[in-house]
Amino acid sequence: MKSLRSVGRACAYAGLFGSIAALPLSVSAVRAADTITRKAFGQTADGQALSLYTLTNSHGAQVQITNFGGTVTSIKVPDRRGKLGDVVLGYDSPANYVKNTGGTYFGALIGRYANRVAKGHLVVDGTPYQLAINNKPNTLHGGKVGFNQKVWTAASVRAAHGVALALRYVSPDGEENFPGTLTVKVVYTWTDDNALKIDYTATTDKDTVVNLTNHSYFNLNGAGNGTILDTKLMFNANRYTPVDAVAIPLGPLAPVAGTPFDFRRPVAIGARVNQPNQQLEFGHGYDHNFVLNGYRSGSTVPRLAARAYAPRSGRVLTAYTTEPGMQLYTGNFLDGKIHGKGGKAYVRRGAFCLEAQHFPDAPNHPAYPTTMLKPGQVYRQTTIYQFSVR
């Protein structure tokens, strides 16, 4: 593994990294106790070399991120006894990320439009755009080749309380049939108190839509260590967006009260997931957008969104976001066939995702908070995944 200093030197040889040459990494950006290192991480199908960045905070807790898809490949945080464990699903081999094996999107950045667009039908300023149908009959997570499959440019940046990696991707006008050149920057900051803060910004040169998220799969007992059914979850959401049989919101927001979607007080994820309930049948479990309380358009202050607690390990994950919604996905399509890090099988309900986002299919629901972005405007979203123990 190269130290940051040697990374900086290596970057001088741009040829070494071909078109993915990282921006120069600044050594002075990193506090003494925190480190960021880089090592080679395989290559894309067309031979572009990839990197894996390791962000270590002053307590030794660690996050790894590859510039392929801006993917978080591991988060190592202590359990209640202080033992570090990796709490996100993923692979040892970069080839599996490059293949998007099983369509899981493990840990990746998702764009240009996270979640679904009904029938791939998008209208911007009266002009229709047909998006790729990659999740019949809808568009999912940006289409055939989403941001999770792109090589991002990486650079370390200054962070007040931790270590940070900035990723940049310019999505050309018309990519996946979305209008406008979208310039996206995502800064991952790994703080000294074990919070992974994700700051997204995007600008465009034409009216377009944008909805970005991170698709990490959490298992607070450790990736591959059984199901998350006993993980207790709290959602700061009085309402959710019920869906049709193909996971498109029906429109109206529905109260969670009296339903298996009521997580206003902590409940084990598995307590109601198999109850006879049409919404749970449509989602094959939880695969729904929660309407987070207290959203204010334009606010840059993250609000409490959700908290998960794994009684076995004592690990707690608290999610904060500026977004109006958060998709809870409980790994319903995992089936044990994917063997991830350390060869461990990823079983059904072996993880949960908390995907901060605007609502699914918002471009076709004028009453939802808008996902429109115009030239001169800046799209901003901040989400924090804070780890602690109990």
Q: How far apart are CA 196 and CA 72, in angstroms?
A: 10
Q: Nearest residue to ligand GLA, using CB? A: 329
Do 250 and 243 contact (CB within 8 A), yes or no?
yes
Site for ligand GLA in 329-358 (CB under 6 A): 329, 333, 353, 355
What minimum distance in Å lies between the beta carbon of 327 and ligand GLA? 5
CA distance 248 to 246: 6
For the chain, the 3-state helix, strand and coil shares in percent, each to the nearest 5, are: 15, 40, 45
Instruction: Work out the number of other CB atoms within 10 angstroms of the CB of residue 245.
Output: 9
CB of 141 to ligand GLA, least distance (A): 6
In terms of CB distance, is 190 or 352 closer to ligand GLA? 352
Q: How far is the C-alpha of 42 from the C-alpha of 260, rounded, in Å?
A: 43
Q: Which stretch binds ligand GLA (CB under 6 A): 56-64, 99-107, 340-348, 381-389?
A: 99-107
Given the complex with ligand GLA, which of 20 and 118 has the nearer CB atom?
A: 118
Active site residues: 215, 355
The residue type of 209 is: V
List 291's β-bridge partners, or say none. 239, 325
Q: Specify whether the CB–CB gap between 153 and 22 falls below 8 A.
A: yes
Number of residues binding to ligand GLA, judged by CB under 6 A: 10
According to the binding rule CB under 6 A, does residue 91 interact with ligand GLA? no
Q: How far is residue 73's CA from residue 94's CA, in Å, rounded to a whole number?
A: 10
Considering only CA atoms, give the Rg of the chain. 20
Helix (H, G, I), strand (E, B) or coil at 291: strand
Closest approach of ligand GLA to the CB of residue 115, in Å: 6
Residue spans of alpha helices (H) in the chain? 4-12, 14-17, 94-99, 278-283
Looking at 36-44, 103-111, 144-152, 250-258, which segment touches ligand GLA (CB under 6 A)?
103-111
User: How does DSSP classify residue 232?
Assistant: E
Site stretch for ligand GLA (CB under 6 A), options 15-23, 100-108, 150-158, 193-201: 100-108
Q: What's the closest the beta carbon of residue 271 comes to ligand GLA, in angstroms?
A: 21
Q: Which residue among 104, 156, 221, 381 contacts ligand GLA (CB under 6 A)?
A: 104
Q: Of 57, 313, 327, 330, which lies in the binding site for ligand GLA, with binding defined by CB under 6 A?
A: 327
In the complex with ligand GLA, the residue whose CB is nearer, 63 or 140, is: 140
Q: At its nearest, how many Å lie between ligand GLA and the CB of residue 356?
A: 12
Smallest separation, CB 318 to ligand GLA (Å): 20
* Secondary structure class of 281 (helix, strand, coil): helix
Cα angle 96, 285, 350; round to 5: 40
Among residue numbers 138 through 197, which ones bind ligand GLA (CB under 6 A)? 140
Residues in contact with ligand GLA, shown as a per-residue x/- string from 27 to 66 under the rule CB under 6 A: ----------------------------------------
Q: Single out the residue of 184, 201, 203, 212 nearest to residue 114, CA to CA.
A: 212
Which of 24, 60, 103, 294: binder of ligand GLA (CB under 6 A)? 103
Residues at the contact surface with ligand GLA, assessed by CB under 6 A: 103-105, 140, 287, 327, 329, 333, 353, 355
